């Protein structure tokens, strides 16, 4: 039982009057963090917030990424949508375009003055004269490996694509696979193939005039190399999502995978030896500089048009971003969710988590890798709304699946992918 106490939050008090309403305002949050331990941590925080005052009650309704692009607009049109909804940059334009979003620029400015947002996380939601969501956490893709396996094979951590292919080949023996990369028409494949594109000079999907440039030689080269990695992966990787990749890695059936984080699964199912868990930037193509990665500034959108509910939503988010709570929120999945504020990056509630303490070097490496983070459609300083339709249909992944599963050569798959993108953008 959580003891009911009165907690005064100066920012929250400025945003919401606790004496204006006789009955609690009920808020519903939709999010796509479905794993039970994440749902449990969000509930723990909601319980603490609900117990801290008597004016607002927040509840959660977990959703999934496979349905949300269609489900959210339909629910909003029917008047049954949530008050708050988690977002990634390429999802927000869908709801903005149907008039579901109102700019939160003033609220973000207030929060920024207190906590200092990482600028890129706000920029991903800043266009058309407004800010359309409040950043909550960052995610970056990394290369994970078992140090002992690389040492036993006599190979170094790969830095380039040729070294990567050689390492995956060397690790693929005795019934094991050197690497595991997906080829499913799904968001995870969007993320992994784009992580190669940004390391092969193909980070831009658009030209400056807004026309598509997906079909270019460097994109084709990234797809061709990805095909080589997929041939070194388990046969069922064509149907993988994130969970299957993690399971392959922690069971040591896969020598390497690309993933945002494997820490929780590795700790509970993979032996839990932090000294053997390796993390590195995604290797780059020969001739390309730096080690880039895909990065998602996850945020929360405010959907309610009711002023009281909107202010109540702001009160809850302001409370959540306070360092005392914020670290606990991020650590619903240690090593996966990274701070988007300077205050959060220093929060004791973040660094004092036992899992974070145990895997501190890996988490520090993930934060460092994220400094070179990019996201398709959000790399040129401009935002092209059509990226929402491209992402919703997983066209980047579909082109990869056409190559791996349907047997198209990389050039044809990429060319056809651009044609699908063009059609989706109309």
pLDDT tens digit sequence for 311-323: 999 999 999 999 9
Compute CA distances 304 → 134, 136, 297, 318, whole Å: 15, 19, 22, 17
Which residue blocks in 105-241 are alpha helix, DSSP H? 105-115, 119-123, 147-153, 161-171, 187-197, 217-231
Q: Is the pLDDT of residue 261 over 80?
A: yes
Mean pLDDT lowest among 4-8, 57-61, 111-115, 117-121: 4-8
pLDDT category of residue 392 using cuts at 50, 70 and 90? confident
User: Residue 99 carries which DSSP code?
Assistant: T
How many CA atoms lie within 13 Å of 90's alpha carbon, on the beta-carbon side? 24
Mean pLDDT value of segment 321-336: 94
Return the percent helix, strand and coil in the chain, to nearest 5. Answer: 50, 15, 35
Q: Is the pLDDT of residue 369 over 80?
A: yes
Q: Is the pLDDT of residue 8 over 60?
A: no
Do the domains at 10-139+295-370 and 140-294+372-425 have one common CATH topology? yes
Burial class (CB in 10 A: 0-12, 13-18, 19+), 227: middle
Q: What is the pLDDT of residue 150?
A: 97
CATH code: domain 10-139+295-370 is 3.40.190.10
d(CA 25, CA 44): 19
Mean pLDDT value of segment 395-422: 98
Q: Is the pLDDT of residue 294 over 50?
A: yes
Alpha-carbon 143 to chain mean position: 15
Mean pLDDT value of segment 110-127: 91
Mean pLDDT value of segment 145-174: 97
Fold of the domain spanning 140-294+372-425? D-Maltodextrin-Binding Protein; domain 2 (3.40.190)
Q: What percent of the chain has pLDDT over 70?
A: 95
Mean pLDDT value of segment 78-83: 96
d(CA 321, CA 49): 12
pLDDT category of residue 120 using cuts at 50, 70 and 90? confident
Q: What is the pLDDT of residue 17?
A: 46
d(CA 405, CA 189): 13
Note the residue count of the chain: 426
Helix, strand or coil, per DSSP, at residue 303: coil
Q: Is the pLDDT of residue 65 over 90?
A: no
Mean pLDDT lowest among 89-103, 122-136, 360-374: 360-374
Mean pLDDT value of segment 73-97: 94
Mean pLDDT lowest among 11-15, 96-100, 200-204, 297-301: 11-15
Mean pLDDT lowest among 103-112, 292-301, 379-388: 379-388
8: its two tokens: 């005064």
Alpha-carbon Rg for the chain, nearest whole angstrom, is: 22
Q: What is the pLDDT of residue 22?
A: 59
- Kindly give, in sequence order, each residue whose CB lies less than 8 Å from that of residue 323, ignoring residues fewer than 6 positions away: 343, 344, 346, 347, 348, 349, 350
Q: What is the pLDDT of residue 388?
A: 85
Model confidence, pTM = 0.82
Is-contact 284 199, C-beta < 8 A?
yes
Token pair 């730096």: residue: 290
Q: Is the pLDDT of residue 148 over 50?
A: yes
- How do the domains of the chain map onto residue ranges? 10-139+295-370, 140-294+372-425
Q: Is the pLDDT of residue 155 over 50?
A: yes
């Amino acid at each position: 039982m959580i003891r009911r106490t009165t907690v005064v939050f100066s920012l929250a008090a400025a945003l919401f009057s606790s004496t204006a309403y006789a009955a609690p305002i009920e808020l519903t949050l939709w999010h796509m963090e479905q794993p039970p331990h994440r749902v449990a941590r969000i509930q723990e925080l909601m319980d603490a917030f609900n117990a801290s005052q008597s004016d607002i009650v927040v509840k959660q309704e977990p959703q999934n990424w496979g349905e949300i692009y269609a489900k959210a607009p339909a629910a909003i049109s029917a008047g049954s949508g949530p008050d708050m909804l988690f977002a990634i940059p390429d999802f927000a334009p869908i709801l903005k375009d149907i008039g579901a979003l109102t700019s939160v620029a003033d609220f973000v400015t207030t929060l920024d003055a207190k906590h200092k947002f990482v600028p890129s996380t706000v920029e991903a939601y800043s266009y058309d004269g407004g800010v359309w969501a409040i950043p909550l956490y960052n995610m970056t893709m990394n290369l994970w490996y078992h140090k002992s396996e690389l040492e036993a094979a006599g190979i170094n951590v790969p830095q380039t694509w040729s070294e990567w292919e050689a390492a995956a080949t060397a690790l693929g023996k005795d019934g094991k696979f050197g690497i595991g990369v997906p080829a499913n028409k799904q968001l995870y494949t969007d993320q992994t193939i784009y992580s190669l594109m940004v390391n092969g000079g193909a980070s831009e999907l658009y030209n400056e005039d807004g026309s598509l440039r997906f079909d270019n030689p460097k994109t084709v080269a990234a797809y061709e190399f990805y095909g080589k990695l997929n041939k070194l992966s388990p046969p069922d990787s064509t149907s993988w999502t994130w969970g299957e990749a993690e399971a392959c890695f922690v069971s040591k059936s896969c020598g390497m995978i690309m993933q945002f984080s494997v820490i929780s699964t590795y700790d509970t199912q993979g032996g839990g030896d932090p000294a053997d868990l390796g993390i590195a930037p995604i290797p780059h193509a020969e001739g390309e500089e730096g080690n880039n990665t895909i990065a998602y500034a996850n945020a929360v959108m405010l959907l309610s048009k009711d002023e009281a509910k909107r202010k109540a939503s702001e009160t809850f988010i302001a409370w959540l971003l306070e360092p005392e709570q914020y670290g606990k929120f991020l650590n619903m999945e240690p090593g996966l969710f990274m701070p988007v504020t300077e205050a959060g990056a220093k929060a004791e509630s973040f660094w004092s988590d036992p899992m974070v303490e145990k895997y501190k070097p890996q988490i520090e490496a993930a934060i460092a890798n994220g400094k070179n983070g990019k996201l398709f459609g959000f790399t040129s300083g401009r935002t092209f709304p059509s990226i929402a339709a491209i992402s919703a249909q997983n066209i980047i992944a579909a082109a990869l699946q056409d190559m791996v599963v349907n047997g198209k050569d990389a050039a044809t798959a990429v060319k056809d992918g651009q044609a699908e993108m063009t059609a989706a953008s109309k």
